[in-house]
Chain A
């Protein structure tokens, strides 16, 4: 029974600690990588997925030379990129929606937050495109700022795809919707699994308790049967006492008769019988006392019999109550088995089998 107290009710259906769920827990990174690569190729947008700290969890997909070979090539450029990503990610987290912005190097980027129950667990960053042909002066200036060859930088900037803002937004939205529904359904599945596990554990405990109950019901039944037998013995002994009492009463009756007859003889003997008459009277008195005592003992044995009968009756009730209990336990056990098999199915669903 004590096992029940060990179940922490707060964990039921809530076994997952939301604050510790990582992106990798809810999204298959290999699948995400594949999706991200294909999407980048298909739409012509580079992308990478980062965790809330900004650390990439996927490899970059379709990074353009401008970024890969130039902007990221210097420490200054790399830091500026990281800062730019952070800002974009922050904005996305703040709004909970994809944002499109211009990066420090003048390219158009987007940041799509991956949210779970209102908390950001990652961000898909992407873009590296332009909405209009590059302004060469602008890129020469940036090249100087980050310390790369301005002419090569301008040349590389021309490799950036030119897309309308609407297309960029739509692409960001697609990534946002897909990643979020993936993480959401994965999270629900995790929750389901956790609940199924908790249920399973609880049911195991219920089963164990039921077994204990069944065992103790059997014990009670057994004890009651022994008790009933013992009580029957008491009844038999009481009956024997009564028989002995009948015998004693018979002796008392006989003694009394002897006393009476002796008194009659004594009376007939006249003066000579006087002394004997006194003895005869004493005998009668003694036999009367014996008979009275027998009566008292019989009253007591009657009380014992009544008590025993009551006890036997109650014993019978206990037995039938125990039988009902055993039947109830069986029913509960059957229900628990049904529930257990349902939970197994639930677990299969949660485990995506």
Chain B
């Protein structure tokens, strides 16, 4: 068995999401994000994608990373999760890789507890380590005010 990951970058770290959950990638500079009042810092706002409202999350607050302006290269990764299409802002989509099972190391127990955790494992390509995220959980946790256990 193998999985294919869409690899993206946030600061210097690489993250991966199973390609089957990815609806598509958008260039953030092509869209205007409209803020949603009363939501946490994790919710950047909403965009109008071909006539449909899609919500955009900012993983930086969720991952306790330093806040950063949306740049020229920033992308939205649109995910099919929880029955809807939701996006998250990433610095750049760097790659699409195919990993065999032996190249994926499941997340250890000490972080893999409860339903809060969104890390499913670590993908290894040579020296690179890719944090594989669970698309179902990265948004749910935000909605409940959690921080993904990172």
CB-nearest residue of chain A to B20? A268
**B96 close to A260 (CB less than 8 A):** yes
> Known contacts being A260-B93, A260-B96, is A267 close to B4, with CB within 8 Å?
yes
| Set A261, A267, A268, A281: member contacting B25, Cβ < 8 A | A261
List of B residues within 8 angstroms of A267 by Cβ: 4, 19-20, 96
| Set A257, A263, A268, A281: member contacting B27, Cβ < 8 A | A257
* Interface residue? A159 (CB, 8 A): no
**A253 close to B24 (CB less than 8 A):** no
A180–B41 CA distance with the chains assembled, in angstroms: 117
Contact with A along B1-44 (1 / 0, CB 8 A): 00010100000000000011010111100000000000000000
Chain A interface mostly helix, strand, loop or mixed?
helix
**B27 close to A264 (CB less than 8 A):** no
> Known contacts being A267-B4, A267-B96, is A261 close to B24, with CB within 8 Å?
yes
Contact with B along A242-269 (1 / 0, CB 8 A): 0000000000011001001101100110
Task: Tell me which of A257, A263, A264, A267 has the highest count of chain B C-beta atoms within 10 A of its own C-beta.
Answer: A264
CB-nearest residue of chain A to B25? A260
Contact with A along B49-69 (1 / 0, CB 8 A): 000000000000000000000
A268–B18 CA distance with the chains assembled, in angstroms: 10
| Set B4, B6, B27, B96: member contacting A254, Cβ < 8 A | B27
**B96 close to A253 (CB less than 8 A):** no
A253–B92 CA distance with the chains assembled, in angstroms: 11
A253–B28 CA distance with the chains assembled, in angstroms: 12
List of A residues within 8 angstroms of B4 by Cβ: 267
**A257 close to B19 (CB less than 8 A):** no
| Set B19, B26, B73, B75: member contacting A268, Cβ < 8 A | B19
List of A residues within 8 angstroms of B26 by Cβ: 257
Count A/B pairs, Cβ under 8 Å. 27
| Set B19, B73, B75: member contacting A264, Cβ < 8 A | B19
**B19 close to A253 (CB less than 8 A):** no
Chain B interface mostly helix, strand, loop or mixed?
strand
A267–B16 CA distance with the chains assembled, in angstroms: 14
List of A residues within 8 angstroms of B25 by Cβ: 257, 260-261, 264
Q: With both chains docked as a complex, state the minimum distance between the C-beta of B2 and any C-beta of chain A, in angstroms.
A: 11
A281–B4 CA distance with the chains assembled, in angstroms: 14
Task: Tell me which of A263, A267, A268 has the highest count of chain B C-beta atoms within 10 A of its own C-beta.
Answer: A267
**A263 close to B96 (CB less than 8 A):** yes
A264–B21 CA distance with the chains assembled, in angstroms: 10
> Known contacts being A260-B93, A264-B6, is A253 close to B20, with CB within 8 Å?
no
Q: With both chains docked as a complex, state the minimum distance between the C-beta of A299 and any C-beta of chain B, in angstroms.
A: 18
A254–B72 CA distance with the chains assembled, in angstroms: 12
**A253 close to B93 (CB less than 8 A):** no
Q: With both chains docked as a complex, state the minimum distance between the C-beta of B119 and any C-beta of chain A, in angstroms.
A: 21
Q: With both chains docked as a complex, state the minimum distance between the C-beta of B142 and any C-beta of chain A, in angstroms.
A: 23
Q: With both chains docked as a complex, state the minimum distance between the C-beta of A287 and any C-beta of chain B, in angstroms.
A: 12
A107-164 at interface with B (beta carbon < 8 Å): none
A333–B101 CA distance with the chains assembled, in angstroms: 92
A257–B75 CA distance with the chains assembled, in angstroms: 9
List of B residues within 8 angstroms of A253 by Cβ: 27, 73
CB-nearest residue of chain A to B23? A264
Q: With both chains docked as a complex, state the minimum distance between the C-beta of A188 and any C-beta of chain B, in angstroms.
A: 90
A209-251 at interface with B (beta carbon < 8 Å): none
Contact with B along A312-329 (1 / 0, CB 8 A): 000000000000000000
CB-nearest residue of chain B to A259? B96
Q: With both chains docked as a complex, state the minimum distance between the C-beta of B87 and any C-beta of chain A, in angstroms.
A: 13
A156–B22 CA distance with the chains assembled, in angstroms: 155
A80-132 at interface with B (beta carbon < 8 Å): none
List of B residues within 8 angstroms of A268 by Cβ: 19-20
4 nearest A-B residue pairs (beta carbon): A267-B19, A267-B4, A263-B96, A261-B24
Using a CB–CB cutoff of 8 Å, the interface residues on chain B facing chain A are 4, 6, 19-20, 22, 24-27, 73, 75, 93, 96
Given contacts A257-B25, A261-B24, A264-B24, 6 further A-B contacts (CB under 8 A): A253-B27, A257-B26, A257-B27, A257-B75, A260-B6, A260-B93
- CB pairs A–B below 8 angstroms (14 shown): A253-B27, A253-B73, A257-B25, A257-B26, A257-B27, A261-B25, A264-B6, A264-B19, A264-B96, A267-B4, A267-B19, A267-B20, A268-B19, A281-B96
